[in-house]
Amino acid sequence: MRWSACHCRAENYQRVQRQWWMRPVWNRRLYHCQACGEALFIAPTEVLFRRAEEKAVHLGTGTAAAAG
């Protein structure tokens, strides 16, 4: 299990139920990365940020392609 996000796209992250000992850690949630199979115990805000970033990059590519 990792305490930081992996290098895969955040869209691969799926929320899973935390184990009992994780519950006192209120600022982190447990995710499962479907790309590399790693369990990630990270802040949900980080996941939201990563997803927004991925979306922005995707949109940026689309704009560049349209311009070019």
Chain centroid, CA 50 distance in Å: 6
Least gap, CB of 21 to Zn ion (angstroms): 23
Least gap, CB of 25 to Zn ion (angstroms): 20
Rounded to an integer, what distance in angstroms lies between the CA atom of residue 54 and that of residue 68? 21
Beta bridge partners of 33: 13
- In the range 4-43, which residues lie near Zn ion by CB under 5 A? 6, 8, 33, 35-36
Least gap, CB of 16 to Zn ion (angstroms): 14
Place of tokens 């992250």: 13
Q: Which residues of this protein are in contact with Zn ion, per CB under 5 A?
A: 6, 8, 33, 35-36
